[in-house]
Amino acid sequence: MKIWKKANRPERAESSAGKPRKGRRIPMAKAIRILVAATLALAVLISLLFWWGARNDDPGPPTTRTTETTRFIATNAAKLDYKVHLTPNILYETSVLDAGGIYFSKLIDYIDTTASYEFSADQSAQLSGKYSVTAILEGDNIPQKKFPIVLGTPEGSLSFDHSAKLDYVVHLKPNSLYTTTTLGPGEQYFANIVDHVAVSASYALQTSRLSQSTGVYEVVALVRAEGYWEKSQTLVPKTIFDASARSTAFSQPFDIDIEAFRQLAENVNDELGINTRKLELLIQFNINLHGKTEDTDAHDVLMSSMTIPLGTSVFTITGDLSEQKSGLFEPETAGAQQISFSSTGKGTTYTQNFRIDLTPYRETV
């Protein structure tokens, strides 16, 4: 009797051809755990990166720096002082008025001004700055205009001071009244006993330096019947003088025959058929100064005068017998409009002088 047994199926082995064997499958729960762990690791890494960047951007706690500063007490002040110079007039006995008064603009020749600045401190300090002066013209229905004042003395300038003067002595004819033959200035004179008037015209000039300057002077007599006629006559012809030195002076004598001029005036009146009450003789001493340097070429005029009445039996001699003028011949390129200053110490003072001529401002108005 044959007994049959069921044989087990053999496992499939790797073939000789080298085909791989199929691996085992990973359970679902385990795969989920691996994914969660990887995600957490990535999140931690990103957090670390953000933390590191934020740490680098953070400036950290504030830093306090302490600087020692020296404190000092200082004061400064600016001031303007001035004097008003007048043209010849019959109102004032003086030619210069102090600050703070009331002035007639038509009588003002110029204004000499001093601008000063003072600085003081309780300890040494370094000081530097700039200053300038500006004239502001304003008024009703006039737009405001500003005029910078030129400061300083330009290189090549020539400052000058000159004066012209007429001195005289009255010579008398023989008479029963006076025991002397001459009378001095400022007295009353009787026309009938006056022989002539001896006059000395003198001139003096001071300049800041040597130059190529020259000048011309002359003396002119002007006979006139005020409001009717006038006639001129040269007493001293035009004469050139040298003004190149720093100091120049001269005098020119001449005589005035009053009777001859009186006769001339009466003859003219007779010819014209008029009888004027006021006849006078005006004597003018004219100076024309030509200031010349390498950079400057300009002129300045000066005149002194005397007036002698011709139609009276008793007279006095009046006029602007003495005239003086100061000025500056300067090149066309004037001085600076702004000046710098600097100093070291506890205090300093700066002073700047300048002159204000009202003529251009009057012309603007």
Q: Where are the domains of the chain?
A: 74-152+336-364, 158-329
d(CA 163, CA 204): 5
Fold of 158-329: Immunoglobulin-like (2.60.40)
Asked if 65 contacts 91 with a C-beta cutoff of 8 angstroms, the reply is no
All residues at 6 or more sequence positions from 13 whose CB lies less than 8 Å from its CB, including other chains: none
All residue ranges of the chain with pLDDT < 70 are 1-72, 124-125, 127, 150-156, 332-348, 350, 360-365
How far is Cα 84 from Cα 99, in angstroms, rounded to an integer? 7
Between the CA atoms of 130, 135, 136 and 138, what dihedral angle is there, to the nearest 10 degrees? 170
What pLDDT, on a 0 to 100 scale, did the predictor assign at position 4?
47
Eight-class DSSP state of 20: P
Predicted pLDDT of residue 15: 45
Residue type, 42: L
pLDDT value, residue 274 = 92
Which pTM was predicted?
A: 0.54
CA gap 55, 59 in Å, rounded: 9
pLDDT of residue 29: 62
Sign of the torsion formed by the C-alpha atoms of 205, 206, 207 and 209: positive
Phi, psi of 273 (to 5 degrees): 70, 35
* Spatial distance between the Cα atoms of 112 and 356, rounded to a whole number of angstroms: 6
For residue 34 the two structure tokens come to 């691996």
Cα–Cα distance for residue pair 293/213, rounded to 1 Å:
7
Place of tokens 């007048």: 86
Give the whole-angstrom CA distance, residue 335 versus residue 352: 13
What is the predicted pLDDT for the residue at 49? 60
pLDDT at 12 (0 to 100): 47
Supply the pLDDT for residue 277: 82
Residues 331-343: tens digit of each pLDDT? 765 555 566 666 6
> Which pLDDT does position 187 carry in this prediction?
96
Specify which residues 220 forms β-bridges with: 234, 284
DSSP string computed for 168-197: EEEEE-S-SS-SSSEE-TTS-EEGGGEEEE
One-letter-per-residue 3-state SS of 265-298? HHHHHHHHCCCCCCEEEEEEEEEEEEEECCCCEE
pLDDT value for 265: 94
